[in-house]
Amino acid sequence: MIYLQLFFEFFKIGLFAIGGGLATIPFIQNLSDKYHWFTTEDIINMIAISESTPGPIGINMATFAGYKVAGILGGIIATLGEIAPSIIIIVLIAHYYMKFSEEAIVRASLEGIRPAVIGLIGAAAFEVVKIALFNIESFLQSKAILDFFDFKSIVLFAVLLFLIQKYKKHPILYIVASAVIGIILKY
Amino acid sequence: MKQLFELFISFARIGAFTFGGGYAMLPMIEKEIVEKKKWATSDEILDYYAIGQCTPGLIAVNTATFIGYKRKGILGAIIATLGVVFPSLIIITVISMFFEHFQDYTIVQHALGGVRVAVAALIVHTITKMWKQSIKDWLGILLFIFSFIAVAFSDISPVIIIILGGIIGTNKNMRKKADAK
């Protein structure tokens, strides 16, 4: 029964892939070795589409992979399989978090954890900024310092940062506006 | 019922405009969940991220489950999580049915070029905000710098960094309390 198999395989991915969505790639590769569900090209295409569409990358990959194997229902089943372990594990943890988060020792440890988490998010942001504002590859090719900066993006970044801080509108507005600007000015 | 529906809609909106990994969701969660709905504080979101980082599963999903559970128990957890994945299901299904080479269209590439810049600006803004709220002393700044460098420039696992942060925090704050006594 292909649906049961899909659910079970993606349940395993949800259970063992710790970290971001890209951590699920080796597992999906493993599936293609085991069942020949997808070719390498399929997987490359899957990653590219998951990164260029809205939604968490891991979920996009699961939906796409499930669809490839067993159509629309396959996409739904794979996605549900992948999120099921999270729901079970996090509900258990959340239960205890609500109970103990006011305890002195938990509060003390959280005070050290929060700055560390901001550092983690900072490192993720650093990667995004690097890709969005700088042309590292063309700089390495031409060695011309001017090639390093993506001026068009840096200007948009500065303007956006100013507007975000000043007007505090919903992030959706900035994302949609930037997509339109990207199309018009060929970013 | 209405609250469950609200949970679903809020998380569907977040899922529909997240471009990238779980961290890209943060500005949206700050706006939608912390500021607008007041379902959680910024500090709580950081805690959920820390837990999401150390437990199996996707961070985006784990965070949604957490907030859903806090609002409406187990059913809330399920509804919020379904909400965050709902747009992906629709969008990816449609794309894989009709546009196998979606990412090759130049219009898509230009739009994404713009979106990437917006995501960068939003996340930088969110970090400065969280910094102001949750980093209160020199030790906090040191922890931030250490964690940033460790993840950006080495292969140290985020799990280890979070555990270390927890140990240092416990040590410092419990000692401070003992001194006060």
Instruction: Please tell me if residue A157 touches chain B, with a CB cutoff of 8 Å.
Output: yes
What gap in Å lies between CA A172 and CA A180, rounded to an integer?
Answer: 12
Query: DSSP readout, B42-92?
Result: HHHHHHHHHHHHHSBB-HHHHHHHHHHHHHHHHHHHHHHHHHHHHHHHHHH
pLDDT over threshold 80, residue A102: yes
Please report the pLDDT score of residue A62 as a whole number. Answer: 94
Q: If you average pLDDT over residues A66-77, what whole number do you get? A: 94
Residue A139's pLDDT is what? Answer: 81
Task: Examine the pLDDT at B170 and tell me if it is beyond 70.
Answer: yes
A41 touching chain B per CB within 8 A: no
φ/ψ of residue B156, rounded to 5? -60, 135
Please name which of A75, A86, A113 lies closest in space to residue B169, comparing C-alpha atoms: A113
Q: Which residues contact A91 (CB under 8 A, 6 or more apart)?
A: B65, B69, B74, B77
Counting every residue, how long is chain B? 181
SS3 content of chain B, % helix, strand, coil (to 5): 85, 0, 15
pLDDT at A145: 79
Where is A35: in which H helix or E strand?
A: helix A25-35
Band of residue B181 on the pLDDT scale cut at 50, 70, 90: low
Interface test with B, best of A22, A87, A95 (most B CBs within 10 A): A87
**Average of pLDDT values for B49-71?**
90
- Chain A: nearest CA to B4, how far in angstroms? 16
Q: Give the percent of chain B with pLDDT over 70.
A: 98
What residue spans define the domains of chain B?
Answer: 2-103
Put simply, the answer to whether A87 touches B77 (Cβ < 8 Å) is yes
Contact across the interface for B119 and A101, Cβ inside 8 Å: no
Cβ distance A117 to B169 under 8 Å?
no
ipTM of model:
0.87
CA nearest to A69 within chain B: B96
Of all residues in chain A, what percent are helix, strand and coil, respectively (each to 5)? 85, 5, 10
Residue in chain B lying closest to A19 (CA): B53
For the entire predicted model, the pTM comes to 0.87
Distance CA B33, CA A2 (A): 38
Segment 104-133 of chain A within 8 Å of chain B by CB: 104-105, 107-129, 131-133
pLDDT at A19: 65
Average pLDDT over residues B135-158: 90
Nearest CA in chain A to B164: A113
